[in-house]
A and B are shown apart, each in its own frame.
Chain A
Amino acid sequence: MDSKRPNRRGFLKGGAALAGLAAGGARVAKGQIQGTPAKKIDELIAYGERSRFVTSVRMPVAERHSPDEFGLTFHVLTPLQDSVGIITPSSLFYTATHRGAFVPDINPREHRFMIHGMVDRPLEFTMDELKRLPYVSRMHFIECLGNRARPTHKTVQETHGLTSCAEWTGVPLSLLLKEAGVQNSASWIVAEGAEEVKGASSIPLAKAMDDCIVCYAQNGEPLRPQQGFPLRLMVPGFEGIYQIKYLRRIKVVDRYYMTYDDYGHINPDPKVAALTHQIGPKSVITFPSGGHQLSGPGFYEVSGLAWSGAGAIRGVEISFDGGTSWKQADLRTPAYPMAHTRFGYHWNWDGKECTLLSRCTDELGTVQPTRADIAKYWNQPLDKVRIQGADNAAQPWRVASDGSVHNGLS
């Protein structure tokens, strides 16, 4: 038997008599046979891993598989249906790439970060130099503009899995820009990565000077390669494509540069243009959600996430009748600006079919719209409404009388 990867099924069939023979050993505690760890105990002491009974995983978006036929990774969804609290484990954080990508293998000792363009003093930093500078650690979500619920989606992983939240640590971009000395006529920055396609986005200078972070750590450890190791830009509340991974360059400029990534977003309608970049107030119930099975009438804790690109979440309401009436939910975590916020509600299910929705209100007082609200705004029939820009519509989940839970859009 491979000592690192024991054949678990065979082991379990063999039962307790064989347990003592398995590499790594097995312990008998309170009369229960414990499984053999997949790795040697000294490896697990050095670097822990989750229980083999915990199996929640990411999945590629249906539109384009990852890896594709070229071995490229495109967009991969986080399993929100299993989520608790507000921190997405780094290993389950959603990933997205510009056009499908190979994750670059960057040596941090060789990585450089440059600021130039309309500055008095162009500067280039090593990773060690960046880590000597004052830093901040903040909770922020990232959401992809492609995070759009469709009737064909079965689970909240499919409808909403292109959003995740983490603690990010790094140097405030404003500090670095002030070190370089931004010139008065500057109005935008172009941020660019070091990966093979060198993905680049134009970002308003006002945002760059406000709350952006040049991050080297996520959830208490260096960024993972899929999240931009060794350096990424955090642009709080803006859609994912601005959060430049493998960050190597910021050029301070005096206009919108219309990079390829900028170009992919252009729209002739100023209203639609305004509905991209900054994410609107949005929430979703993660339990019960599509694919869950309620075991019968009785008590359940409804749980979900709310977030806004404009600031902190002030409140969340839940409807149990498809949006006719709304009840105030409780916030179960601190409401950090531009971060996922967990909400909950004590619910006694009477066993009858019902449709659950959530909607949130952010600190500006902006209320998350339902699809009916959006249809009314664009003067479109509800059954044909096309959601423009980032989709922040309330998500319905239909609980059938047998306890099965389904996408309310289908």
Chain B
Amino acid sequence: MGFRKLCLVTAVLGICQTAWTQSPTYGLGKSPSAEEIRAWDIAISPTGKELPAGQGTAKEGAALYARKGCAGCHGATGSGGHAPTLISRKGVQSAPATPSMPSMPCLAPCVNDANTMGVHSPFATTIWDYINRGMPLGKEGTLTPNEVYALTAFLLYKNDVIKEDEVMDAQSLPKVKMPNRDGFALPPEWKHGEPRLQGYP
């Protein structure tokens, strides 16, 4: 126990992390089955390791964009609707004012022409993840993996990231080189009892 306590202290200091692996104390809760875990495991890593089998292309995605009613909120051309801009208009820095979401001020996460996911997201996996978990509004979770791959391919193609005939699947999607791949800084390593930014007034 003494060693564990020491490790816990040093773990906080970032020196060792071994103290966190422990045996159960309370014995409550059940072990979920592999199938139960898979059904809920919808957060997609930038490595794409949780991506399911399936595939899709931009052409298939264009048809789905019309058929699934995406245009109703995002606009026929992927911009100018009430919902976040999906297809960035070149040279436009912010979304037009609409009754439900004026361009300024914008509450995070705020998505407009300047930071459309297809251009701004460092990883294509984030686009797949969000379409899969959150779209279409009111019918979340109803798209098949093939449909999510196709819609992701459509947005990547329309934002000039991939070619129209590129097939998106669990292997190709994580490899897509996004224009903003290196355009973000990770939050600094968090430590208890430290200010958010040394030297900030």
Contact = CB atoms under 8 A, between A and B. Distances in A.
Interface of A: 61, 63-65, 68-70, 74-75, 98-99, 114, 116, 120-125, 129, 132-133, 144-146, 148, 150, 175, 177-179, 181-184, 186, 190, 192, 196-198, 200, 204, 206-207, 209-211, 241, 248-249, 251, 253, 255-280, 309-311, 364, 366-367, 369, 373-374, 376-377, 389
Contacts of B195: 280, 310, 364, 366
Nearest to A249: B40
Contacts of A198: 42, 133-134, 140
Contacts of B133: 197-198, 200, 260
Q: Which A-B residue pairs are the 7 nearest by beta carbons?
A: A264-B109, A266-B184, A373-B201, A369-B201, A270-B185, A146-B107, A123-B29
A252 B152 CA distance: 26
B109 A260 contact: yes
B28 A133 contact: yes
A114 B37 CA distance: 8
Given A124-B32, A178-B20, 7 more contacts: A64-B101, A122-B37, A196-B138, A204-B187, A263-B109, A277-B196, A364-B193
A272 B134 CA distance: 28
A339 to B, nearest CB: 16
A148 B107 CA distance: 10
Interface string B188-201: 11111111110011
A184 B125 CA distance: 25
Nearest to B107: A146
B20 A196 contact: no
Contacts, number: 211
B114 interface: no
B201 A367 contact: yes
A179 B25 contact: yes
A241 B110 CA distance: 13
A51 B41 CA distance: 47
Given A206-B190, A256-B186, A116 B32 contact: yes
A276 B187 contact: yes
B35 interface: no
B75 to A, nearest CB: 16
Contacts of A98: 109
B105 interface: yes
A291 to B, nearest CB: 20
A69 B193 CA distance: 44
B63 to A, nearest CB: 24
Interface in B160-201: 183-197, 200-201
12 contacts: A63-B101, A63-B106, A68-B100, A70-B137, A74-B107, A121-B31, A122-B32, A123-B29, A125-B28, A209-B11, A266-B120, A277-B196
Contacts of A182: 20-21
A114 B107 contact: no
Of B129, B138, B190, most A-chain CB atoms within 10 Å: B190
Given A207-B190, A259-B129, A275-B200, A150 B140 contact: no
A248 B187 CA distance: 25
A22 to B, nearest CB: 43
Given A179-B26, A206-B12, A276-B187, A61 B126 contact: no
Contact of A99 (B11, B32, B134): B134
Given A184-B21, A190-B43, A197-B133, A364 B31 contact: no
A264 B110 contact: yes
Given A122-B31, A280-B200, A364-B194, A259 B184 contact: no
Nearest to A68: B100
Contact of B43 (A75, A197, A257): A257
B90 interface: no
A99 B194 CA distance: 31
Contacts of B102: 63
A360 B105 CA distance: 27
Contacts of B138: 196
B22 interface: yes
Interface string B21-58: 11111101111100011001111111100000000000
Contacts of B110: 264
Nearest to A128: B28
Contacts of B200: 271, 274-275, 280, 369, 377
